[in-house]
């Protein structure tokens, strides 16, 4: 959740229980009366987009999303190879969890920018999905890495092959991310470590790969 003078912006929209957790966090920060202006997506996996449509209906927020994951937002993604297993799980989960398809207000391609917070630039990091995208803030030298890796101290790891639509692209995406001028990173899946600690973990993982 990002906040600037105009309001709040979400990086992805969460999974089961996500809206309840969001409202709890807003109350904890004293932001419950501030408008949610936008939802900025990193990719189309169900655990990141389940709550998009309900939140848009409730808040009127716009949605910016990677163009190459359009089939995910429509609820018709195609999975091949190892990721076919993930596709089966999502196919079962969408009706059970009452997923509502949606069309983004803005389609995002590599290098596109959003004039929110301190400025965000889309960095295409394919591998996890075709459209998987990180968001880079040059002012703060901070990269939101989405699912490029999971950061849990000594248990930090890259996503398992079953979750990656094009695993052959993962190495290049890690190298691309680390080529940026960075002081820290924030992954979607990780513990409450500092951005600097998450960056150190990513560099260690990349060194072992």
Rama region for 135: left / alpha / beta (φ>0; ψ in -120 to 50; rest): beta
Alpha-carbon distance of 10 to 31, in angstroms, equals 13
Q: Are 53 and 100 in contact (CB under 8 A)?
A: yes
Q: What is the pLDDT along the chain (209 residues), one digit of tens a residue?
A: 999 999 999 999 999 999 999 999 999 999 999 999 999 999 999 999 999 999 999 999 999 999 999 999 999 999 988 898 889 999 999 999 999 999 999 999 999 999 999 999 999 999 999 999 999 999 999 999 999 999 999 999 999 999 999 999 999 999 999 999 999 999 999 999 999 999 999 999 999 87
Angle at 169 between CA 168 and CA 174, to 5 degrees: 125
Q: Is the dihedral of CA 122, 30, 54, 75 positive or negative?
A: positive
Q: Please return the burial class of 142, using the count of CB atoms within 10 Å of its CB with bins 0-12, 13-18 and 19+.
A: buried
What is the pLDDT, as a whole number, of residue 146? 98
Tell me if residue 68 falls in helix, strand or coil. helix
Tokens of 95: 């009706």
Please name which of 184, 186, 127 lies closest in space to residue 159, comparing C-alpha atoms: 127
Tokens of 163: 């979750």
What is the pLDDT, as a whole number, of residue 85? 86
Q: How many helices (H) and strands (E) does the chain have?
A: 7, 10
What is the pLDDT, as a whole number, of residue 100? 98
DSSP 158: P
User: What values do phi and psi take at 148, rounded to 5?
Assistant: -60, -35
- Give 191's Cβ-side CA count (13 Å radius): 10
- For the chain, the domain total comes to 1
What is the pLDDT, as a whole number, of residue 47? 97
CATH number at residue 145: 3.60.15.10
Please name every residue paired with 7 in a beta bridge, in sequence order, or none if there are none. 4
Rama region for 110: left / alpha / beta (φ>0; ψ in -120 to 50; rest): beta
Range of the domain at 46: 2-208
């Amino acid at each position: 959740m990002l906040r600037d003078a105009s309001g709040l912006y979400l990086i992805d929209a969460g999974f089961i229980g996500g809206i309840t957790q969001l409202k709890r966090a807003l109350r904890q920060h004293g932001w419950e009366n501030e408008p949610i202006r936008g939802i900025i997506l990193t990719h189309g996996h169900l655990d990141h987009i389940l709550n998009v449509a309900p939140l848009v209906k409730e808040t009127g927020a716009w949605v910016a999303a990677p163009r190459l994951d359009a089939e995910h937002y429509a609820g018709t993604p195609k999975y091949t190879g190892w990721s076919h297993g993930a596709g089966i799980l999502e196919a079962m989960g969408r009706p059970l969890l009452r997923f509502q398809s949606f069309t983004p207000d803005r389609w995002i391609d590599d290098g596109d920018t959003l004039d929110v917070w301190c400025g965000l630039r889309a960095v295409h990091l394919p591998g996890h999905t075709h459209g998987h995208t990180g968001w880079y803030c040059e002012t703060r030298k901070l990269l939101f890495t989405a699912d490029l890796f999971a950061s849990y101290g000594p248990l930090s790891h890259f996503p398992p092959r079953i979750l990656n639509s094009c695993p052959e692209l993962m190495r290049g995406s890690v190298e691309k991310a680390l080529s940026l001028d960075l002081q820290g990173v924030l992954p979607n899946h990780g513990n409450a470590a500092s951005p600097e600690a998450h960056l150190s973990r990513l560099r260690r993982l990349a060194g072992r790969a």
